[in-house]
Every structure is written in C-alpha cells, then in structure tokens.
Amino acid sequence: MIDLDCLNGSARPSFGPHSPMTESEEVVVNGTVDRQGRLIAADPRLLALQLGAGGEEGGILAVPQIAALARLARTLGVLVSRGVVAADGARDLDLWVRAKPDGERIELAIAGWEELPAPPPDTTLMQSRARDFARLESDGDWACDDQLRLTDIEPELISLSGVDALEALGQPLTRFFRLVEDEHGDLPLLGAVAGRHGFVMQLAELRSLPNARLWLHGEAKLTEDGTFAGFSGGYRLIERLLAPSRPDFVPRPPVDEGFSQRLEAALRVPLARIIDNAEAITGQGEGPLRHDYVDYAGDISAAGRHLLGLVDDLVDLQAVEQPGFRIETEVVDLADIARRAAGLLGVRAADRGVRIDVPPHDEILEARGEFRRVLQILVNLIGNAVRYSPQDSSVWLRTEQEGDLAAIIVADQGKGIALDDQARIFDKFERVDPSEPGGSGLGLFISRQLARAMGGDITLDSAPGQGARFVLTLPLAKAP
C-alpha cells in the first residue's frame, strides 16, 4: 500500500514499532469512520474531541480536519498520514492523523495531542482581525510587486474609480489608493512591508473618488530565498462610509447600528463559514472528488451567497422603513454613475451574452442625490435588466431631462412585465416570476424608497413581449 507520508515530505512518526516518539506522541488514539462519514467507533479522547466539535456519538465526524483526511483516504484508496491542527474548545491541538482504508471503512490512528502555545496578545488581535475580514466576501482582488507597484487590479474597481487600466497598472499603489492611518496612527500595509508578512484592515480611499472607502488586505509574496516580492490580496468596499464630500456635511449615525451587528453575528458569520467550506470542497484541495459532490458544493456556495445578499437587503430594508428616513444629497452626475454601474456588471453581462450600451463618456447630467445610493439603485436596475435579458440582446442606459427632473433610463429586450404586475413588483418580497432564479424581492422596493428619500422616484413602462423600461428620476442640480 502507498503511504502518502512520502508525498508530503514529512518527518513525523509513521506509527511503526521502531518509530522514535516523544512522550506526547506515545499515546495513539484510534477510531473508525464508515462509508457515510460517521464515527462509529472512537477511543474516549477522540470521542471527547468529536463531542466538543458539536458532533454526536456515532454521528458524522465533526472535526473537519480529520474528516477531510478520511474522505481523501477513501477517495484515493490509499493510506494518508498528515499533521493537522484541530480546535479543542479554546485551545488548539497539534495532531498527526493516519487514515487507512479497510474495506468500506476508514481506520484512524491519531498521535501527537500536543497543545499549541497561545500566541502573544498582538498576534491574537491580528489573527482575530484576519478571521473577521476573511468572513466577509471580498469585492475583488489586487496585487503589487516589491516596490508596491500595481500588477493586478479588479476591472470593476478600475471602472468605479474612473481610472484607465493602463494608467493604473505599473503605478505605485499609493497613486491609486490613499492609505488611512488606524486608531494608533499606524499604516498596517507599510508595517507589513517592513515585517514581510500579511496585513488586514488597512483603510484606504480611492484618490479619484475620495468618497469611496474600502478595506484592503493582503498576503506577502516571498521568493524561495525569503525575499519580499509584493502582496496579493483583496478589497471590500465600505458602503456605509461613502459619504458626500461637502465640507458642511455631518454624517448621521445609522438608525440602529445594533441591528446590522446582530445580523452579523446571527447570519453573516455562519453563512460565510458555509460558503468558505463549500468553496474549499469545490476547489478539491484535499484531492479529487466525484463530480456530483463538487456540483453539490457549488450549489451550497451559490445558495450561501444568495442568503448573504438577503442579509444586506434586510439591513437596508430596516433603514428605509424607519420613520423620517432621509438622505443627505449633493450634486452627482447621473451619466457618470450609470457608466460606473455598467462597469460593475460588465463581467456578469458578458457571461450572459448581454451588451450594456452606456451614455457617451462626454455626456453629463447633474442631479441632486447621494452617489452611493444612486449607484446602488442603478446596479439593481441594470442587474435586473441583465438577468431577464435573452442572450445576444442589449440593455440601454439613456439620460433625459424632464422639466426640473433629471432621468436615467434602463431599458432591456426581455419578455416584459404585464400591467397587472407592474405595481406589485415594487412591493416587498415581490418578483415578476417567483419561479425563476433571482434576488430576494426587496431590490426594487428598497431602490424606490431610496429614490423617493432623495426627492425622486422610479417608474416603469413595459408590456409583455416588449421589454421593460425603468426610469430613475432625481431633482436637477440646477432647476430651470
């Protein structure tokens, strides 16, 4: 039988009679996993670990690191022996796990059981921040070299900032982002350069769009000799910090900050964990899997992302339904925001074979609104148009001036909306066709509430078989 120890290049014990072992490694704990992944037999120490991980006696093996090795051994049909770190309450255990196929079962032998020392307080804080950030779904990726020159950046972020891709790549990161000091006056990114390690929670602003703030995180890239070679990381837009830049604007605190925090704890964190685990299965990092299992994991990940979107919608819903909800406005360019929203959805549209026709780049239509909220509305309207458009069709974005109102029109070539449904789809949790895959049924309701809070509205003109025409209106910046 092939032992994967040799593939791992490991010097850990092979459980043979002549293997040198430390005192902690002399204890070998055994268990048996059946074809369904249930821990049907376990020594007391393994059983205690199983119960501590939320599993049951005789139930599915609940320690993910050990379960992954058992699945790998079953998939490959060979003995697998590898070191893992498993959580046991508030402590971490360094284990060496040997998983050996035996007919329909996997026989486990686990040595080590060494408790890892707790990291120093500063490291604990950094790891806690890293875990918190990892729970959030990044909006995109970026990378730089050892001189902090951008080597890769998400096209959607380039579109949002209005900077040409060729101008951004090869330029110092600080020409694209303005780094913001943390509460201690430090810049985590620069500290990471000096220490040649990763960083999280680096607050930054887009220099070409100062109202847009985001969190940056990155992993250090090192050469074989340990030389620092740059960062590879991601970013997440902080929507609730996209405040107008007027000097007299004083942002009001959210209506109920505790609501989003409760959602974070109750829904966002476990959903993010589900998505992470599903995507880990999809990536087949532990070895090849049956295609149907990979498909199941992909479905789980997609469903988790849908639910995370619903969490965001519920936070917005709670805000817009508060009595006296209002939005501070400034002068915005509807044509420019329409182009940016289209850029954010460009990849999705291309995947569906849909072309988005945007206003010319020299076209300007100034209105009164809040940049982030107008962008949110247009992303929703354009996203719906792309979703319901047939392949090889177009979505048109056009600007108009109607008296003292500025309008942006989103028109598609979809199947259209019946007159009886046109009022209903602006209600909460309503969709044109509930049987079709789509959003939560809150997007249009929230978008109309936001538009009306800025002194505008959203209207619809459609007929079956003739596509749909959504019109966002806002007060002109300078009414005639």
Interval 260-280: pLDDT, tens: 556 555 666 667 677 767 776
**Cα distance between residue 200 and residue 52, in whole Å:** 30
Last residue of a domain, one of 241, 275, 305: 241
Same domain, 262 and 370: no
- Please report whether residue 248 resides in a domain: no
- Please report whether residue 167 resides in a domain: yes
pLDDT for residue 278: 74
- Please report, for the domain that includes residue 339, its CATH number: 3.30.565.10
pLDDT for residue 34: 93
Residues 6+ apart with CB under 8 A from 156: 139, 140, 343, 344, 346, 347
* Residue 95 β-bridge partners: 84
Same domain, 231 and 316: no
pLDDT for residue 240: 38
Same domain, 73 and 178: no
Q: What is the pTM of this model?
A: 0.43
pLDDT for residue 9: 39
Most confident of 5-19, 72-86, 259-273: 72-86
pLDDT for residue 62: 85
Same domain, 358 and 434: yes
**Cα distance between residue 217 and residue 234, in whole Å:** 6
pLDDT for residue 474: 94
- Say how many domains are in the chain: 4
- Are 339 and 466 in contact by the 8 Å Cβ rule? The answer is no
- Please report whether residue 184 resides in a domain: yes
Same domain, 285 and 363: no
- Cα atoms found within 13 Å of the Cα of residue 10, Cβ hemisphere only: 17
Kindly tell me if the per-residue pLDDT of 360 is higher than 60. Answer: yes
pLDDT for residue 252: 39
Last residue of a domain, one of 190, 215, 241: 241
Same domain, 470 and 344: yes
Selected residue with higher pLDDT from 22 and 39: 39
Mean pLDDT of 390-407: 92
Same domain, 337 and 467: yes
Kindly tell me if the per-residue pLDDT of 172 is higher than 60. Answer: yes
Count of positions (residues) in the chain: 480
pLDDT for residue 178: 84
The dihedral of CA 223, 226, 228, 232: what is its sign?
Answer: positive
pLDDT for residue 254: 41
Secondary structure (3-state) at 455: coil
Same domain, 128 and 30: no
Secondary structure (3-state) at 99: strand
- Are 330 and 370 in contact by the 8 Å Cβ rule? The answer is yes
Same domain, 101 and 143: no
Selected residue with higher pLDDT from 405 and 274: 405
Cα 155 from chain centroid (whole Å): 16
Burial of 123 from C-beta contacts in 10 A (0-12 / 13-18 / 19+):
exposed
- Please report whether residue 213 resides in a domain: yes
Burial of 76 from C-beta contacts in 10 A (0-12 / 13-18 / 19+):
middle
**Residue 283 belongs to what domain range?**
257-320
Same domain, 90 and 135: no
Selected residue with higher pLDDT from 249 and 472: 472
- Are 267 and 310 in contact by the 8 Å Cβ rule? The answer is no
- Please report whether residue 246 resides in a domain: no
- Please report whether residue 147 resides in a domain: yes
- Please report, for the domain that includes residue 24, its CATH number: 3.30.450.20
Same domain, 159 and 275: no
- Please report whether residue 252 resides in a domain: no
pLDDT tens for each residue of 314-350: 666 666 666 666 778 889 999 999 998 888 788 788 8
Same domain, 210 and 299: no
- Please report whether residue 480 resides in a domain: no
Last residue of a domain, one of 68, 96, 115: 115
* Residue 397 β-bridge partners: 410
